[in-house]
């Protein structure tokens, strides 16, 4: 997904749904001017605490993504696993109004129909929040607010190796990389299988 972000130095970045602040800290470490919003007061405090600990200048605001209030425009708007909790088209429309000319929105979202991750979702804490997982149709509908649109899907069979993300095991990591390479080749040969992937990375440009 970082390939979609491009050069970050001196870019004005808005992250929507900051979580614990790790991604915002990365943007800041790359020389970006970073603003983060989250509707959760707990997340806002966590991000502020992390920024203070790392001695980073990150602007953190409690704000609803469906009603963005900014006087300045942004070079990049970044959204990771947040659209599932909001009115998706409303947020995309709001993003288009605060994006600079030739700026971009980069979105990483889990996909609704990914069959190989349904078992994990059954036990996920997200179930209680009733997430509205993304679809390619939803992303295509959102392109009406922007001039350009592209997307790329990841994690087909490699989604079965989810535990490899949390275990320090070289064999598992090598196995994951091999399966991920196979996934990429399969998606290229048979584009329709992208609908079964776990994650989509989307870029809109103004």
Long-range contacts of 9-14 (CB under 8 A, 24+ apart): 11/75, 11/76, 12/72, 12/73, 12/74, 12/75, 12/76, 12/100, 13/74, 13/75, 13/76, 13/77, 13/78, 14/70, 14/74, 14/76, 14/77, 14/78, 14/98
Q: What is the pLDDT of residue 121?
A: 79
Q: How far apart, in whole angstroms, are the C-alpha atoms of residue 69 and residue 58?
A: 17
Yes or no: say if 116 and 196 are a contact pair by the CB < 8 Å rule: yes
Yes or no: say if 13 and 78 are a contact pair by the CB < 8 Å rule: yes
**Mean pLDDT in residue range 155-160:** 90
The structure's pTM equals: 0.91
Please report, rounded to a whole number, the percentage of residues in the chain having pLDDT higher than 70. 96
| pLDDT tens, position by position, 123-156 | 776 667 788 999 999 999 999 999 999 999 999 9
More confident residue, 99 or 121: 99
Map residue 174 onto helix, strand or coil.
Answer: helix
CA distances from 43 to 1, 50, 57, 79 (A): 23, 10, 17, 15
Q: How far apart, in whole angstroms, are the C-alpha atoms of residue 162 and residue 155?
A: 9
Average model confidence (pLDDT) for the chain?
92
| pLDDT tens, position by position, 56-94 | 999 999 999 999 999 889 999 999 999 999 999 999 999
List all residues 6 or more positions away from 169 whose beta carbon is below 8 Å from its beta carbon: none
**Mean pLDDT in residue range 153-163:** 86
Q: Does residue 120 have a pLDDT over 70?
A: yes
**Residues linked to residue 149 through DSSP beta bridges, in sequence order:** 204
- Tokens coding 119: 């078992």
More confident residue, 198 or 160: 198
- Tokens coding 198: 């776990």
* Local confidence band at 1 (pLDDT 50, 70, 90 cut-offs): low
Give a three-class secondary structure readout of 10-69.
CCEEEEECCCCCHHHHHHHHCCCEEEEEECCHHHHHHHHHHHHHHCCCEEEEECCCCCCC
């Amino acid at each position: 997904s970082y390939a979609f972000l491009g050069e970050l130095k001196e870019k004005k970045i808005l992250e929507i749904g900051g979580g614990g602040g790790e991604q915002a800290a990365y943007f800041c470490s790359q020389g970006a001017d970073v603003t983060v919003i989250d509707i959760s007061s707990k997340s806002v405090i966590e991000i502020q605490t992390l920024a203070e600990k790392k001695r980073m200048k990150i602007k953190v605001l409690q704000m609803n993504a469906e009603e963005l209030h900014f006087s300045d425009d942004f070079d990049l708007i970044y959204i990771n696993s947040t659209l599932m909790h909001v009115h998706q088209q409303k947020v995309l429309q709001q993003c288009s109004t605060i994006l600079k000319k030739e700026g971009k929105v980069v979105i990483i979202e889990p996909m609704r129909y990914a069959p190989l991750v349904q078992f994990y979702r059954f036990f996920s804490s997200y179930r209680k929040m009733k997430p509205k997982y993304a679809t390619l149709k939803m992303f295509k509908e959102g392109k009406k607010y922007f001039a350009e649109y592209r997307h790329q899907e990841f994690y087909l069979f490699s989604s079965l190796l989810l535990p490899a993300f949390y275990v320090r095991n070289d064999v598992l990591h090598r196995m994951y990389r091999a399966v991920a390479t196979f996934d990429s080749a399969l998606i290229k040969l048979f584009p329709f299988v992208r609908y079964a992937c776990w994650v989509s990375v989307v870029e809109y440009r103004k």
